Chain A
Amino acid sequence: GDSVTQMEGPVTLSEEAFLTINCTYTATGYPSLFWYVQYPGEGLQLLLKATKADDKGSNKGFEATYRKETTSFHLEKGSVQVSDSAVYFCALLSNDYKLSFGAGTTVTVRA
């Protein structure tokens, strides 16, 4: 079945450092890809999405490009802030209804 594999954490960075979280997927057809963020004690917030190959999703300085040839959707941010500390989930939408999530990557940014 469809699945997502993302980089294991935790990841600890200093403020203004570069962040990359790797995400690869296995899917039949052409899924839509997402990154969600979860702050402590809260639900999931959509960070960005891409619906077809070569699309680039971006939001709040984060970017991810849908790479069909490598089945990847890596998340990047050039300069992280303490407020970016959270758990990040890569997900794919298959068959137009089911979201499949990775296990999540915990990111901690130190001042």
Chain B
Amino acid sequence: ETGVTQSPTHLIKTRGQQVTLRCSSQSGHNTVSWYQQALGQGPQFIFQYYREEENGRGNFPPRFSGLQFPNYSSELNVNALELDDSALYLCASRLDSRRGYTFGSGTRLTVV
């Protein structure tokens, strides 16, 4: 198993810009979720995709959007970046509902 890989590991953007974060899940992992972890806090659920369709969303505005691809990769897009978007963004995937999620190491986004 190759695990969950996220890229880039670190990123600095300017307020108002757009960013795309990427995640590569293990083969067969049809479910992928994205979380935002602010410094010193627990991860907050952004949304989840199952077989390329969004099937759950947390309390995040529409400028947070995503895509999931047939090759088990996914993207998190954030438009009109704000300073408060600075956080660690985690991707997590799983094979099926009986198994726990496997998390990537995250992308550290800094908005200046």
Q: B-contacting residues of A (Cβ < 8 Å)?
A: 4, 34, 36, 41-46, 49, 89, 91, 95-104
Q: How far is the CB of A32 from chain B (nearest CB, A)?
A: 8
A46 to B92, CA, bound (A): 11
Task: Determine which of A36, A43, A95, A102 lies in contact with B106 in the assembled complex, contact meaning CB atoms within 8 Å.
Answer: A43
A43/B105 in contact, CB under 8 A? yes
Q: Could you list 12 A-B pairs, sorted by A, with CB under 8 Å?
A: A36-B103, A43-B103, A44-B43, A44-B92, A49-B100, A91-B42, A98-B48, A98-B58, A99-B92, A100-B45, A101-B43, A102-B42
Query: How many angstroms from the CA of A24 to the CA of B86 in the assembled complex?
Result: 29
Would A95 and B56 be within 8 Å (CB), given that A43-B90, A44-B43, A104-B41 are in contact?
A: yes
A45-B48 contact, Cβ under 8 Å, with A89-B42, A103-B42: no
Report A-chain residues with C-beta under 8 Å of the C-beta of B35.
99
B66-112 contacts to A, CB under 8 A, are: 90, 92, 97, 100-106
A99, B100: Cα distance in complex, Å: 10
Tell me if B24 is interfacial: C-beta within 8 Å of chain A: no
Interchain Cβ contacts within 8 Å, total number? 56
Binding site for A on B (CB under 8 A): 4, 6, 31, 33, 35, 40-45, 48, 50, 55-56, 58, 90, 92, 97, 100-106
- Can you add 20 more A-B contacts, CB < 8 Å, to A43-B4, A45-B103, A97-B50? A34-B100, A41-B105, A42-B106, A46-B100, A46-B101, A49-B100, A91-B42, A96-B97, A98-B33, A98-B45, A98-B56, A99-B33, A99-B35, A99-B45, A99-B101, A100-B45, A101-B42, A103-B40, A103-B41, A103-B42
Check A97–B48 contact: CB distance below 8 A. yes
**How far, in Å, is A25 (CB) from chain B's closest CB?**
13
Q: How far is the CB of A51 from chain B (nearest CB, A)?
A: 8
Contacts of A97 in B (CB 8 A): 31, 33, 48, 50, 55-56
Residue of B nearest to A49 (CB): B100
Inter-chain contact A44/B31, CB cutoff 8 Å: no
Q: Which residues of A contact B41 (CB under 8 A)?
A: 103-104
